[in-house]
Amino acid sequence: MNGGRQLRTDVVVIGLGLGAVAAALAATDAGCAVVMAGGERRVGGQITTQLTAPLDEHPHIEREAACSLRYRALRDGIRAAYDGRRNPGGGWVSRLCFEPAVGERILETMLDEPLRRGMLTILRGARPVEVIGDAEHLTGVVLESGGQLISVTGDVVVDATETGDILPLAGADWVIGSEGRAAFGEPHALPGGADHTAEQSCTVVAALVRDDHQPVPIADAPAHYARWRDEQPFSLTLSNDVGHTHTFSFFDDHQPPGSFWSYRRVRDSAQLGGADAAVINWHGNDWYGSGLVADPGGTEAAARDLTRAFVHWLRTEAPRDGGGTGYPELRLAPEISGTSDGLAESPYVRESRRLRSEHPVTELDLTPRSDEERAEQFTDAAGIAWYHADLHPRVGGHPSVYAPTAPFQVPLRSLVPERGRGPANLLAGAKNLGATQIAAAAYRVHHGEWAVGEAAGVLAAHSVRRGLTAQAILANANELIAVQIAVLRAGVPIVWALDLPQQHPAFVAGSLLIAHGGLDRIGRRRLTVDPDLPVSTEAAAALRRAAVRIAALIDITPTRPDPAPGCTWGALARALAEPVLAAIDRSSATDNPHAVAGVRRTE
């Protein structure tokens, strides 16, 4: 299949969601030309077309060092659009709930700068139908848009689609559903062997407005309403994975943690005026009868029908706080959803195809450990995230999982197919990283997907600049550490050190040393490093060991400065890392002469 329109670029990013946006911003900031393309009408994925605007995050998210500068810019931009209000939606599921249109506007603003420079082209409504290349190396992707074909060629392809759509097109090994407990010994995996039919549920989210003054007339019940209501079942009661139940009031917020309505409220009339608005993502409209990967069309259609039925139940049969049933004052809100019917443009995707790996990130890598505040540390880390492993019901009726994790990292190896398992220049940039079903359920949320995409964007840019495939970079210690340094210099934390923010002079040096084992026993028990306090003997020894370890990897002679009395942790980290940074900068100085200066179009 040949495209009539042709584009040539450095990095091809397929997808328009949060991972895709993060990858495109990271790559263009690093000097690469990017074409970002996807089948949706709008950028933003989870927070826009899927209507899950309330951000699923971790308790430390307000700390500067707990996310990247770009993700912080997204959050700050949203709050600025509401005159600095911290939580303009007033939803209790998140510290930041907002209207999807506002999130879209902030993302568009962030993308505007590389667009104006000619470094970014965005193709909306363009779905991938074929890859160009072979099982070893990709040269591009063919897109279909309005009956026309577009061929986009580049040096690196990032699959940041919602369900890992490039993986099968590229012949990469991938997996869906449960690997089974027998594969890696994960305590929350399904017992026994693999069950690739056990995809997580998806949800077509609804946007509702509360209008007490102008109730909308009740329409006839949707087809199969009674069956949906009784089998789902529709209820305001939730149960967790250990059998505890809680029945929520509808509007009354006096009972902790809050009401059904304010759970995912995205517009709080008490703060903003006008009418309250909420997005409905609840067990009642969680579709687990089939999977989006196994049956995309049928699954989306059924999920839409289920949500329409659940909304009808809310308006007619849901128990009222003061007695009686039904809330006719609720109506579907196209002005919130950005669609004609008040339902999300796309289903909320909880599980994607994932890179199949002999050594994926597993639940065991993320599990809290005794005497350790962090999860298993990865020496190839290129980002951080933290969320529990949150699995909703799966096809086949398998129960939900809500497994604890410790603050964890994004390893570069999880973004790249192993040799012989996929093209050497294909990267995962969203929920499709090389992780098991349990582990991927912790990475899938907003900031986790962003972190994966951002790491992929920096890795892609380094690949273009150096003329090396991602697989070759991972096999070369100098190149891998150069990517880590590039990630850090772009303002992306790769380790958990909450008092080592991006503007700290020791951010790059200290983070790199921590990533390679630079914490002593006390440092491993907390998420802070006290960079401006005198360094202890034990902490200094740990930093020196990390510096020696990195020096051996890149074949240089390490320096072993003895800290002067009163020398701070940060000052010692900088002194130890300086020769490493200098050596990496020298070895990475040569650029790829074939990199594209901008997007080239050939019609």
Question: Given the structure tokens 């004609």, which residue do they identify?
Answer: 340
DSSP code for 339: S
174-201 burial, b if ≥16 CB within 10 A, otherwise e?
bbbbbbbbebbebebbbeeebbbbbbbb
Letter for the amino acid at 364?
L
Query: pLDDT (tens digit, 9 = 90+) per residue, 146-161?
Result: 999 999 999 999 999 9
Q: Are 424 and 403 in contact (CB under 8 A)?
A: no
Q: Name the token pair of 307.
A: 């949500």
Q: What are the C-alpha distances in Å from 89 to residues 61, 72, 262?
A: 18, 18, 8
Name the percent of the chain lying above pLDDT 90: 93
The stretch 286-310 carries a mean pLDDT of 98
Q: How far apart, in whole angstroms, are the C-alpha atoms of residue 430 and residue 434?
A: 10
224-261 burial, b if ≥16 CB within 10 A, otherwise e?
ebeebbeebebbbebeeeeeeeeebbbeebeeeebbbb
* SS3 label, residue 159: strand
The stretch 378-400 carries a mean pLDDT of 96
Letter for the amino acid at 288?
Y
Q: What is the dihedral of CA 403, 404, 408, 410, to 10 degrees?
A: 10
Q: Are 556 and 583 in contact (CB under 8 A)?
A: yes
pLDDT at 603 over 60: no
Q: Name the token pair of 99.
A: 């209207």
pLDDT at 431 over 50: yes
Phi, psi angle pair for 472, to nearest 5°? -65, -35
Q: How far apart, in whole angstroms, are the C-alpha atoms of residue 221 and residue 226?
A: 9
pLDDT of residue 47: 99
pLDDT of residue 597: 44
Taking the CB of residue 22, how many other CB atoms lie within 10 A of it? Answer: 33
* SS3 label, residue 507: helix
Mean pLDDT lowest among 111-125, 287-301, 587-601:
587-601
The stretch 196-217 carries a mean pLDDT of 95
Q: How far apart, in whole angstroms, are the C-alpha atoms of residue 600 and residue 317?
A: 58
Give the residue from 320, 429, 445 showing the smallest Cα distance to 382.
429
Cite the DSSP H helix spans in 347-390. 363-366
| pTM summary value | 0.96
Confidence band of 584 (pLDDT split at 50, 70, 90): very high
> Strands 600-602, 286-287: parallel, antiparallel or unpaired by DSSP?
unpaired
What residues have CB less than 8 Å from 299, skipping those under 6 apart? 202, 287, 289, 290, 291, 292, 347
Q: Give one DSSP letter per residue of 265-280, joined into a string.
A: EEE-HHHH-S--EEEE
Q: How far apart, in whole angstroms, are the C-alpha atoms of residue 460 and residue 426?
A: 9
The stretch 17-22 carries a mean pLDDT of 99
User: Which one has a higher pLDDT value, 336 or 590?
Assistant: 336
Question: Given the structure tokens 């096999």, which residue do they identify?
Answer: 475
DSSP code for 395: T
DSSP code for 498: T
Mean pLDDT lowest among 164-178, 226-240, 525-539, 554-568:
554-568
Give the residue from 174, 157, 119 showing the smallest Cα distance to 429.
157
Q: What is the dihedral of CA 293, 297, 300, 303, to 10 degrees?
A: -110
Enumerate helices (H) and strands (E) in the chain, giving the number of each. Answer: 19, 24
What's the whole-number average pLDDT of the chain?
A: 96
Q: Name the token pair of 558.
A: 């390490």
Q: How far apart, in whole angstroms, are the C-alpha atoms of residue 375 and residue 399?
A: 25
Confidence band of 592 (pLDDT split at 50, 70, 90): low
pLDDT at 17 over 90: yes
Mean pLDDT lowest among 85-99, 235-249, 333-347, 367-381:
235-249
Phi, psi angle pair for 408, to nearest 5°? -125, 180
Q: Are 164 and 356 in contact (CB under 8 A)?
A: no
pLDDT at 424 over 50: yes
What residues have CB less than 8 Å from 401, skipping those under 6 apart? 188, 241, 389, 390, 391, 438, 441
Taking the CB of residue 527, how many other CB atoms lie within 10 A of it? Answer: 20
The stretch 95-109 carries a mean pLDDT of 99
Cite the DSSP H helix spans in 467-568. 470-474, 477-489, 507-515, 521-524, 537-554
Q: Name the token pair of 80.
A: 């600025």
pLDDT at 1 over 60: no
Q: Is the bond leading into 411 cis (omega within 30 degrees of zero)?
A: no
Q: What are the C-alpha distances in Å from 135 to residues 169, 356, 426?
A: 10, 15, 10
pLDDT at 602 over 70: no
Q: How far apart, in whole angstroms, are the C-alpha atoms of residue 158 and residue 140?
A: 10
> Which CATH architecture is the domain 5-181+351-489+593-602 placed in?
3-Layer(bba) Sandwich (3.50)
* SS3 label, residue 496: coil
Confidence band of 591 (pLDDT split at 50, 70, 90): low
Angle at 199 between CA 194 and CA 202, to 5 degrees: 170
The stretch 368-377 carries a mean pLDDT of 96
pLDDT of residue 4: 80
Confidence band of 100 (pLDDT split at 50, 70, 90): very high
Any idea where the domains of the chain sit in the sequence?
Answer: 5-181+351-489+593-602, 202-337, 507-587
Q: Name the token pair of 125.
A: 């409504």
pLDDT at 23 over 90: yes
> Strands 127-133, 138-145: parallel, antiparallel or unpaired by DSSP?
antiparallel
pLDDT of residue 244: 84
Q: How far apart, in whole angstroms, are the C-alpha atoms of residue 269 and residue 277?
A: 8
